[in-house]
Structure 1
Amino acid sequence: MQTPILATYMRGGTSKGTFFKLSDLPTSCQVAGQARDNFLLRVVGSPDPYGKQIDGLGNGSSSTSKVVIISPCTDGIHDVNYLFGQVAIDKAMIDWSGNCGNLTGAVGSFAIFNGLISKDKIPENGICTVKIYQQNIGKTIIAYVPIKDG
């Protein structure tokens, strides 16, 4: 049985990753743990003993074997939470300890496009400032996203 789950495959810099809104994940995958890791490994196509991830959205290289989970932030400071996972290609492991600077460049656009940024913050033309809380490393990232024609 298949279950449709919304996801967006995005490029940021020289990296590509599968982006999810936390609320779009199955309930059991909305919290850290084995269920979430198993689900994300399956999406990317890992582990793959042949190193190609043909049965998933990964592409057999570390720069394309990545997942991102974005959620609204309620701390009154940040707009969104950004959780990054580096998916191993040849083994069943996701490293949640770091950040991907390249994919960070896509977080603001994803958040805007997916309705996670208040409409009153988005100009018709200009720059939208998105305050991101990078959960892996506990840092604030400010993204400046160009907007044209809304």
Structure 2
Amino acid sequence: MAHVPQIKIPATYMRGGTSKGVFFRLQDLPASAQVPGAARDALLLRVIGSPDPYGKQIDGMGGATSSTSKTVILSKSSKPDHDVDYLFGQVSIDTAFVDWSGNCGNLSAAVGSFAISSGLVDADRLPQNGMATVRVWQANIGKTIIAHVPMTNGAVQET
């Protein structure tokens, strides 16, 4: 019996505030999911485990609540004076739908850390020790977010 080839996509499951989500670098997604549309939504639905008519998301990374059924896609910014572009996708639990119309303030708190750790912020903008400033373009709502990320010995201080 032939099976569809599996693909590997680097991702990070992170907490920001009271929310949890799966974070991706845009460049790591398959080409068809690097642009808005059905392929991107289908991939994120699969990763989160939606739709799940039982509301459990057992077959995915979603946690069966609206605060744990979230995705983030980051890329180097296309905007001047910004470090990263941030897309937020709220994944429905029981229907095949990804809402791209808003933002998650809680996960916004984790965007700077992920951006630095995944190499999306130019190294010359990062202090060895102290506070890094990450300029985030929140593409869903067209707003700038300034994230302040503590750094210790050149690494994000997450504890």
Return the TM-score normalized by structure 2.
Answer: 0.93
Which residue of the other structure, out of 37, 40, 50, is the alignment partner of 1:36?
A: 40
**Is residue 22–residue 72 contact of structure 2 (8 Å, CA) maintained in 1?**
yes
Kindly indicate whether residue 112 of structure 2 is the aligned counterpart of residue 90 of structure 1: no
- Aligned residue number for residue 119 of structure 2: 115
Q: Which whole-Å CA distance do the structure 2 matches of 1:51 and 1:74 have between them?
A: 37
- Aligned residue number for residue 25 of structure 1: 29
Q: Which whole-Å CA distance do the structure 2 matches of 1:85 and 1:25 have between them?
A: 15
Structure 2 residue runs without a partner (length 5+):
155-159
Kindly indicate whether residue 20 of structure 2 is the aligned counterpart of residue 13 of structure 1: no
Quote the sequence identity (%).
66
- Aligned residue number for residue 106 of structure 1: 110
Number of residues paired by the alignment? 150
1:78 CA drift (Å): 0.6
**Is residue 70–residue 89 contact of structure 2 (8 Å, CA) maintained in 1?**
yes
Q: Which whole-Å CA distance do the structure 1 matches of 2:9 and 2:84 have between them?
A: 20
- Aligned residue number for residue 59 of structure 2: 55
Which residue of the other structure, out of 78, 82, 87, is the alignment partner of 2:82?
A: 78
Runs of at least 4 residues of structure 1 off by over 3 A?
none
Residues 88-120 of structure 1 show CA distances to partners (whole Å, capped at 9, x for unaligned) of 000000100000000000000000000011111
- Identify the range of structure 1 (16-25 vs 67-76) with the bigger mean alpha-carbon deviation: 67-76
Q: Which whole-Å CA distance do the structure 1 matches of 2:92 and 2:15 have between them?
A: 18
- Aligned residue number for residue 157 of structure 2: none
1:76 CA drift (Å): 2.1
RMSD: 0.6
1:61 CA drift (Å): 0.4
1:77 CA drift (Å): 1.2
Matching residue's letter, 2:79: D
Q: Which whole-Å CA distance do the structure 1 matches of 2:37 and 2:79 have between them?
A: 23
